[in-house]
Structure 1
Amino acid sequence: MKIIISGGGTGGHIYPALTIMRTIEEKYPDTSFLYVGTHKGLEADIIPKENIPFATVDIQGFKRSLSPANFVRAGLAAVGVAKAMNVVRKFKPDAVIGTGGYVCGPVLMAASMLGIPTLIQEQNVVPGITNKILAKFVTRIAAGTPEAEKHFPAGKVICTGNPIRKAVLTATREEGAKAFGFDPAKKTVLISGGSRGARSINNAMVDVLVEAAKQREVQYLHVTGKMDYEDIIGHLAEKGVNLAETPNIKVEPYLYNMPQAMAMADLVVYRAGATGLAELTARGIPAILIPYPYAAENHQEHNARALEAAGAAKVILNRELKSDILQITLQELLADDAKLASMAAASKSLGKPQAAEDIAQMVIDMTQGRKTK
Structure 2
Amino acid sequence: MKIIFSGGGTGGHIYPAIALIKALKKKEPTTEILYIGKKLAQEEKICKNESISFIGIKVRYFYRKLTFKNILTIIEFIKSYCEVKKIIKQFKPDIIIGTGGYVCAPVVYAGARKKIKTIIHEQNSIPGLTNKFLSHYADKIAISFSSSEQYFNHQKTVLTGNPRAQEVVMSKKIPKNQLKLQENKKLILIFMGSLGAKYVNQSIVKSLPILSKREDIEVIFVTGKSHYDTIISEVKDFKLKQNVFIKDYVENMPQLYQHADLVICRAGATTLAEISAIGIPSILIPSPYVTNNHQEKNALDLVQIGGAVMIKEKDLSEEILTNQILKIIDDPYQLQVLRINNKKLGIPNACDKFIELIEHLT
**TM-score interval for Structure 1 and Structure 2 normalised by the shorter chain:** over 0.9
What's the Cα RMSD here? 1.8
Q: Offset at 1:226?
A: 1.5
What residue number does 1:197 align with? 196
Which whole-Å deviations, capped at 9, do the CAs of 1:265-300 have from their partners, x for residues lacking one? 001011111111111111111111111112222111
In structure 1, C-alpha distance between the alignment counterparts of 2:175 and 2:106, rounded to whole Å = 40
**Aligned residue pairs: how many?**
362
What residue number does 2:225 align with? 226
In structure 2, C-alpha distance between the alignment counterparts of 1:241 and 1:105, rounded to whole Å = 51
In structure 1, C-alpha distance between the alignment counterparts of 2:197 and 2:358, rounded to whole Å = 34
The answer to whether 1:127 aligns with 2:122 is no
Unaligned runs of 5+ in 1: 368-373
State the one-letter code of the partner of 1:227. S
Which whole-Å deviations, capped at 9, do the CAs of 1:16-62 have from their partners, x for residues lacking one? 11111122223322001011222343222221011111111232322
Q: Measured at CA, do residues 122 and 308 of structure 1 come closer, stay the same or move farther in structure 2, by a change above 3 Å?
A: same
Which whole-Å deviations, capped at 9, do the CAs of 1:309-328 have from their partners, x for residues lacking one? 00011111122222222111
Unaligned runs of 5+ in 2: none
What residue number does 1:371 align with? none
State the one-letter code of the partner of 1:240. F
What residue number does 1:137 align with? 137
Task: Tell me the secondary structure at the aligned position of residue 293 of structure 1.
Answer: coil
Percent sequence identity is 38
Q: Offset at 1:176?
A: 5.5
What residue number does 2:238 align with? 240
The answer to whether 1:343 aligns with 2:341 is no
Q: Measured at CA, do residues 58 and 309 of structure 1 come closer, stay the same or move farther in structure 2, by a change above 3 Å?
A: same
TM-score by length of 1: 0.92
In structure 2, C-alpha distance between the alignment counterparts of 1:115 and 1:187, rounded to whole Å = 54
What residue number does 1:72 align with? 72
| Bigger Cα displacement from structure 2, 179-188 vs 333-342 | 179-188
Q: Offset at 1:171?
A: 4.9
In structure 1, C-alpha distance between the alignment counterparts of 2:183 and 2:168, rounded to whole Å = 17
The answer to whether 1:63 aligns with 2:58 is no
TM-score by length of 2: 0.95
In structure 2, C-alpha distance between the alignment counterparts of 1:99 and 1:210, rounded to whole Å = 41
Q: Offset at 1:241?
A: 3.7
Write out the 4+ residue segments of structure 1 that deviate beyond 6 Å after TM superposition. none
Matches within 5 A, 1:9-48: 9-48=9-48
Q: Measured at CA, do residues 280 and 176 of structure 1 come closer, stay the same or move farther in structure 2, by a change above 3 Å?
A: farther
Matches within 5 A, 1:298-309: 298-309=293-304
What residue number does 1:208 align with? 207
Matches within 5 A, 1:305-320: 305-320=300-315
What residue number does 1:53 align with? 53
Task: Tell me the secondary structure at the aligned position of residue 150 of structure 1.
Answer: helix
Q: Offset at 1:362?
A: 1.0
Matches within 5 A, 1:152-301: 152-164=152-164, 166-171=166-171, 175=174, 177-237=176-236, 239-241=237-239, 246-301=241-296
Q: Offset at 1:235?
A: 1.4
